[in-house]
Structure 1
Amino acid sequence: MKGLYVRQSGKLVMAVALTLLSVSISAQVLDSPVATVRLSSTEVITQRSLKQDVQRYEEQLGRALTVEQRREVLDAKINEVLLKQGADRANVTVADSEVSEVLNQQKAQLGAAVSDEQFRRLLEQQTGMSYADVFEQIRRTLVQQRFLAESKRDVINPPGASSRLPAPSEVRKVYEENQTNFINPAMSGFTHIFFDSRNLSEQEKSELLARAQAKHDEIAGGKTSFQRAVNAAMDDSSVQAGDFGYIVRGDQQAMALLGSSFVDAVFALEEEEVSEVIESNIGYHIIKVTDKRAPRLLEMDDPIYPGQSLTVRMQIIQYLQQQKQQERFQTALQELIGELREDADITIFEERLNW
C-alpha cells in the first residue's frame, strides 16, 4: 500500500508540474511580445499592454481601431520607451520637489477650499491610478520634456524667436475669422457693503440682517451717503466694503459662490442705483452699480476685460506666438525620436497586431 501511494504521489507531482508548465506557457502566450526596444536596455512591449491602450482609445472613440491605428498606438509606446531610455542615458532627472510643484499648481486651480486629501482622492478618481502612480507619471513627463528641451534647444528656441512678432496681416486674419468670438457678455461692476454670514447661527444671521437693514435705512433716509457708509465700513472690522469688480452674465462660478438670485438682482439695477439689502449665499449686501455694460463685439484694440491692459490684438499675437512655439516643439520632438530610432534596435511582430 505504501509503495502504491508513493507511485500515485509521483503521478500527482508530475500532473501538478505539467499544470504549472501549462499555466506558464499560457501566460507567455497571453503576454506575447508585440515589440522589443533596445537603446540602453531591452524593453518588451507585450500584446496585453498594447491591448489595454487600444481598448482605452476605442472606449473614447466608441468604435474599434483598425490594424493601422493599432500600429500607431504601438509606435507611440515605442517612442515613449525611447524617450525614457534616452533621458536615462543622458542622466536627465527631475526632483520630487519639482513634481510636487506641478501638483500644487493643479491643486491651487481648484481653490483654497480643497484639502490635500480631497485633491489626492480627486486625482485618483479622475485618472484611475493611485496617487503614487500619478506622481511618477508626472515625473516621467517632466523628464521627457527636459530631455527634449536640452537636446533640441536651438530648434525649440532659435535666436530671436521670442521677440519675433507675427505680421499685422496674420493678426488681422485671425481676428476676422473669429470676430464673433471676441465678445464681451453683459456685465455689471459694483461697489458693495458686505455683511458676512458664513459660519453663523440662525440667530446671529437675523441680528446681522437687522444691522444691514439699519445701514440701508440710514443711506435711503439721507442720514449718510453710500460712499460715506463705504468709507466708514472700511474702518469697521465686522463689515467689509469696497469695489467688488464685475459680475458677468452667465458666469457659473459667480452663481455657484453668490447664488443665481443675487446675480439676477445685480443685473436688475441701473447704473448708479443703490440696492435694497440683497442676500447672497455668503451674506448680505448693499450695492451700488458703478458700470453696466451690454453685450458687444470687441474691436482689435479693446481690452478683453474692463480694467485690464490685455487687448484683443495682444491676445491674438500671444496665440500666434504660442502656435509657432508648438510647431517648433513638434518639429524638435520628431527630430529627436527619429534620431533615437536610428540608434535603437527595434523589432516589431506585425502579426501580433491582429487579434
Structure 2
Amino acid sequence: MNCKKSFFSRLTTMAALFTLTGVVSAFGAEAPAAKPAEAVSPTTVVAKVDGIDITRGDVDRATKILLQQNRMTQPLDAETSKKVEEAALNQLIAKELLYQAGKKLEIKDIDKKVAERVAQGKARFPSTAEYEKMLKEVSMNDKDVETFTREELVIDNLLDKEVSSKITVTDAEAKKFYDDNLDKFKRGEMVRASHILIGVDKDATPEAKKQAKEKAEAILKKLKGGADFAALAKDDSTCPSKARGGDLGFFGRGQMVPEFEKAAFALKPGEISDVVETQFGYHIIKVTDKKAPETVKFDEVKERIDQYLKQQKVQQAIQQYIQELRGKAKVEILTP
C-alpha cells in the first residue's frame, strides 16, 4: 500500500507539492469546479495556462489520485466533491505554471533519468499486473507515466534551484523553536531489554503451545543456574534479535505488546522475568538499563528541528513562488 501511495504522488508530477500543506489553497476560490464528468467530454477544456489546455479528463484523473492518496473510498456529497475537484484543478494549474518555468532550465540526460525513474516506480510493485491495475484505477497508461515523470523531474529541478537551495535555518531559529516547544521534547521512561523468544503461533494447538512453554521454562531454569543470557538467546531464541544476543535496544511505553511492556518496565536493571506469554509465543526478558523521564537535549534534536523548519519555509516559499508565476502568466478558468 505504501508503494502505491508514493507512486500515485509521483504520477501527478507534483510529489513535492502534494505533500505541502497549503499549496492547494494558493488559488482558493478563484478556480471553480468544472461540471460533473458525465455532463462534459473528457476532452473539454476547463482551464488554460499560457495557452496550455487543462481538460475535464485531466481534472478527473487528478481527482481520482487525490481520493486514492487520502483513502476516500466512500461516495462524496456534492459539497465535498466540489472541493476535491477544486483541489485537483488548483494542483493542475500550479503544476503547469511550474512546468513551464522549469522547462527553461537545462537538465542533462533527462531522457535517461526519466527512464530510470519510471523503472524505479514499476519496481515498487510486486508484479506487472499490480502496476497495470494501479494505472487503470487512475485512468493512465505507460505514455502518461513517462510524460508525468518528465514533468516531475523538470519541476523538482526548478524547485531545488529556485526555492529549496535558497532556504536556510539559523541556529538561533532552531534554538528558539526548541525553547518555545519544550513540551514536545519530553521523553518518558525508557527501558533497554534483551529477550529470548520461543515462538509459537497464537492459533497453534494446545500441545504445541505446551511444548513451547516447557522449552522456555527449561531455558529460564538454566538462566537461574547462572547460564549466559546472550549465549542462550543466540542458540535458542526464534526472534531475529538473537543475532545481538536478544538485545532490543531502548524502547518506551506503547512500543511493545502490553504483556511484554508490563513485564519489562516492572524489572530493575539486571533482573530476569518469569516466562511471559504474548501473541508471539513465550518470552524471557532481561532488563539491562533504564532511563528516567527527561527533556531531550537541544543538540540531540537540532538536526530534526532544522529539517522541520526548513520544510515549513519551503512550503511557504513554494506558495509564494507559484503566486509570482501566476502573476506573470495568463490563467483562464473556462466554463464547459
- Common fold, TM-score beyond 0.5? yes
- The residue aligned with 1:175 is 178
Matched-pair contact (CA < 8 Å) for 2:196–2:238: no
2:120 maps to 1:101: yes
What does 1:32-71 correspond to in 2, within 5 Å? Answer: 33=44, 35=46, 37=48, 43=53, 45-46=55-56, 49=59, 64=79
- Structure 1 residues 179, 139: closer, same or farther in 2, change over 3 A? farther
- Per-residue deviation, residues 14-41 of structure 1 (Å, max 9, x unmatched): xxxxxxxxxxxxx99744956453768x
Q: CA deviation at 1:63?
A: 7.9
Q: CA deviation at 1:288?
A: 1.0
- The residue aligned with 1:316 is 305
- Per-residue deviation, residues 104-124 of structure 1 (Å, max 9, x unmatched): 66x7xxxxxxxx37x959x96
Aligned length: 282
What does 1:201-350 correspond to in 2, within 5 Å? Answer: 202=205, 203-220=207-224, 223-225=225-227, 228-235=228-235, 240=242, 241-251=245-255, 254-255=256-257, 260-301=258-299, 311-334=300-323, 341=329, 347-349=332-334
Matched-pair contact (CA < 8 Å) for 1:148–1:332: no
2:158 maps to 1:148: no
C-alpha distance in 2 between matches for 1:285 and 1:273: 14
Q: Which amino acid aligns with 1:177?
A: D
- Per-residue deviation, residues 257-295 of structure 1 (Å, max 9, x unmatched): xxx222222222233221001122222221111123343
SS at match of 1:270: coil
Matched-pair contact (CA < 8 Å) for 1:247–1:263: no
- Structure 1 residues 317, 300: closer, same or farther in 2, change over 3 A? same
Q: Which amino acid aligns with 1:43?
A: D
Matched-pair contact (CA < 8 Å) for 2:192–2:288: yes
C-alpha distance in 1 between matches for 2:253 and 2:95: 45
2:137 maps to 1:130: yes
Normalising by structure 2, what TM-score? Answer: 0.61
Q: CA deviation at 1:215?
A: 1.6
Q: CA deviation at 1:73?
A: 6.2
Q: CA deviation at 1:216?
A: 0.8
Q: Which amino acid aligns with 1:266?
A: A
Matched-pair contact (CA < 8 Å) for 2:194–2:287: yes
Q: Which amino acid aligns with 1:185?
A: G
- Per-residue deviation, residues 143-185 of structure 1 (Å, max 9, x unmatched): 3332124446542355xx58x55132x1222112221111213
- The residue aligned with 2:187 is 184
- Structure 1 residues 289, 62: closer, same or farther in 2, change over 3 A? farther
